[in-house]
Amino acid sequence: MLEQLKYAIRKTTLGVASVVSGMGYVIQKKNPLTLGFLE
pLDDT recorded at residue 1:
79
Alpha helices for the chain (secondary structure H): 2-30, 35-38
User: How far is residue 34 from each of residues 14, 18, 20, 22, measured CA to CA in Å?
Assistant: 23, 18, 14, 14
Domain that holds residue 21: 2-38
Between 38 and 31, name the one with better pLDDT.
31
Instruction: State pLDDT tens for residues 12-37.
Output: 998 888 888 888 777 767 766 655 55
Number of folded domains in the chain?
Answer: 1
pLDDT recorded at residue 22:
84
pLDDT recorded at residue 13:
92
- Judged by DSSP in three states, 1 sits in coil
